[in-house]
Amino acid sequence: MKSSYNHIMKTKARRDSIRKRHKIEEKYSWDRMSDSQNERKSHRNRALVATLIVITFFVSYMVELYDVQVSQHSYYSVKSDSNRIRIRPVQATRGIVYDRKGEVLADNINTFNLIVKKELIKDIDNFLKKLKNLVTLDENKYNDIINQFKNRRLKDITILEDISLEEYSRIAVDQYTLPIIELTPKSKRRYLNPEAISHVMGYVGKVSDDDIYSEVLKIHEGMTEIGKLGVERFYQNILSGQPGYEKLETDAKGEVIRTLEKKEPIRGKDIYLTIDLSLQKFIYDKVKDKEGAVVVMDPNNGDILAFVSMPGYDINLFTSSLTKKAYSKLINDKRKPLINRVISGQYPPGSTLKPFVGLVALEENIINPGKLVNCDGAYELPNHKRPFRCWKKDGHGDTDLSYALTQSCDVFFYRVAQLTGIDTISENLYKYGFGQKTYLDLYGEKTGLIPDRKWKSKTKQEPWYPGETLNVGIGQGYFLATPMQLTLATSTLSNDGNTFIPHLLLSYKDNKTKELTMYDPDNNKFYTQMKNQDYLEIVKNAMWRVVNEKRVGTASHMKKVGDIEYAGKTGTAQVYNLDKGKTGTKNLQDHALFISYAPFDKPEVVVTVIVEHGGGGSSTAAPIARDIIEYYMNNKTQKVAINE
């Protein structure tokens, strides 16, 4: 009975268990999850999705690969080559500069520089730290390297200039610590007679930002040096030539493996100047201890035969990195050697202006050739407190224009200036080249100043006073002229109004084709109108009297130049109005001036001399001009060798 009861209970328990299991199966569908057909279908779906993903990635990869290998092949090929191939510019050798007779003024010498490619410097501070262990770096050089590194135009940084192979061999011992530095050959500019030609030649220096943004200069890729002043600057595009290049294959470290291609640079054109070096040196040696300017010009074509601004300076200093100390010495030199006095020195012309004022008065019918003015040593201007004095205290007596020019009578020209008026004077002096550039082929030329009512009202907000007109009449007061302007004006006068723009270029030669291009002065010729030739002859004859009429002319005390007669006009420009500038303090003494041309009957040269604080024009400037004329006449037969 008991056994039967136990069996019933077990059966009941199993039924309950089965019943619960069915309920769970119904709730969670375990029967469907375990279905083999559904499982296979699920696997296929997952495989399909995975396949689609793989195909998508593969197609994308192939599209990108096609784009790289085909569509953008050129781009990536260039980019790849840029990592493997380096283009190194090869600078063209600068053209040589000669004088008119074929004497070398500027050429080039081969030297070596220690450099580093800027692209190889990863850390400038670390580079400089290692560099100090190899070479001596002072503060100036240290800062110079940093500035070169910051200059985006420069591809190479110059560490040391003009080093010898022996010096490099000592550096090479430890170069393994800084293998990116290298020795490279360089063509360096060299100036012969550097001080004598300093202001006409100028010099070359490193390319600056101002040079890069210049609208005139052609800056070639990799160019590191450029003309800075003088002829080197003005004719930069002719002298510089065409650069070449080297296509170099490099390894992963940037070191050169081999040269793949090379294009040779084209040397710059050679230039022949109008300058006569022998004459230039003669003049400079004569005046180098003075301050001032000397110009010698051929009035028949505008050739500048000598161009001397004194003192000069050694322009070879600028072909290498100039130290701050050396530059400071030049800047602070009391004699101011860096100023080009020929074109930017502005001086009161003094009595050298009188021939032109006299011509204006004659041409405007203010006076006639026989007009007499009595000089008793001073001129009284109505309503003016003090008299205007003549340089000759006891006066010249009755003087006409010719005698007034010969004796340089101030009173005569006070009166003429008063009668003519500042408006007529300023308007007519402009035609002789005063108050404007002469357009000589150099940069930096000043215009000088012809003062008038409008100028004074604008600049000083003051009216024009009658006494100021008198000062202009003798080349004083506000009137300023450059030595080049005085030379051009004298040339116009000597050549009866035929005027040539002054120039320094004689010719230039293409070193590839050997073609010689000559400067044509007739393309730069014009006529300055002279209203009456007779009036011009009166002035010219008076200038002849200045030099040749003994005991009358202010420069007649000088020794004759053989059988050559020449004309001139002395001038003394007042610097300090106390005691007429006659003081023991040099920088308060008058400037000495002399304008001249020779020979008188058929002019070949115009000579202008200005000596700052030199005292009298007749005692200081005129003798210098006389010696220059003599030297020229004795040596003018030498052959011009520009075609050799």
- N-term to C-term CA, the chain: 151
Architecture label for domain 88-273: Alpha-Beta Complex (3.90)
Q: Which of 437, 459, 559, 539 is nearest to 496 (CA)?
A: 539
Spell 34-48 as b/e; 16+ CB within 10 A means b. Answer: eeeeeeeeeeeeeee
- Give the pLDDT of residue 181: 86
Architecture label for domain 279-313+340-635: 3-Layer(aba) Sandwich (3.40)
Angle between the N-to-C axes of helices 410-420 and 354-363, in degrees from 0 to 180, rounded to the nearest 10: 40
Alpha-carbon torsion, ordered 531, 398, 573, 314, to 10 deg:
70
Strands 270-273 and 97-98: parallel
Q: Which pLDDT band holds residue 348 (cuts at 50, 70, 90)?
A: very high
Distances (CA, A) of 591 to 126, 444, 490, 574, 621: 58, 23, 19, 7, 9
Question: In terms of residues, how long is the chain?
Answer: 644
Mean pLDDT of 313-328: 88
Average pLDDT, the chain: 87
Top-confidence residue, 49 or 426: 426
DSSP of 202-261: --EEE--HHHHT-SS----TT--EEE-SHHHHHTHHHHS-B-EEEEEEE-TTS-EEEEEE
Peptide bond into 311 cis (omega under 30): yes
Q: How many other CB atoms sit within 10 Å of the CB of residue 255?
A: 12
Question: What is the C-alpha separation between 504 and 308, in angstroms, rounded?
Answer: 13
- Looking at residue 135, its amino acid is V
Question: What is the C-alpha separation between 531 and 529, in angstroms, rounded?
Answer: 6
Sign of CA dihedral 192, 196, 199, 205: positive
Segment among 347-351, 503-507, 581-585, 611-615 with least mean pLDDT: 581-585
- Give the pLDDT of residue 581: 44
Three-state SS at 154: coil
Single pTM value for the model: 0.82
DSSP of 33-98: HT-HHHHHHHHHHHHHHHHHHHHHHHHHHHHHHHIIIIITHHHHHHHHHHHHEEEEEEPPPPPPEE
Three-state SS at 111: strand
Top-confidence residue, 486 or 52: 486
Question: pLDDT tens digits for 287-299?
Answer: 999 999 999 999 9
Mean pLDDT of 623-634: 97
Question: What is the C-alpha separation between 44 and 51, in angstroms, rounded?
Answer: 10
Question: pLDDT tens digits for 16-58?
Answer: 776 766 666 555 554 444 556 666 667 777 778 778 888 887 7
Sheet with 605-611, edge to edge strand ranges:
304-310, 292-297, 605-611, 591-598, 567-573
pLDDT at 315 exceeding the cut of 80: yes
- Give the pLDDT of residue 31: 47
Determine whether 351 is an active site residue: yes
- Give the pLDDT of residue 150: 83
**Residue 223 and residue 187 in contact, taking contact as beta carbons nearer than 8 Å:** no
DSSP of 439-487: --SSS-----B---HHHHHHHH--PPPHHHHHHHHTT-TT-BB-HHHHH
- Give the pLDDT of residue 195: 97
Residue tagged active-site, from 351, 408, 426, 491:
351
Mean pLDDT of 172-197: 87
Question: pLDDT tens digits for 97-122?
Answer: 999 999 999 999 988 888 888 878 88
Question: What is the C-alpha separation between 493 and 606, in angstroms, rounded?
Answer: 10
Residue recorded with tokens 């500048």: 304
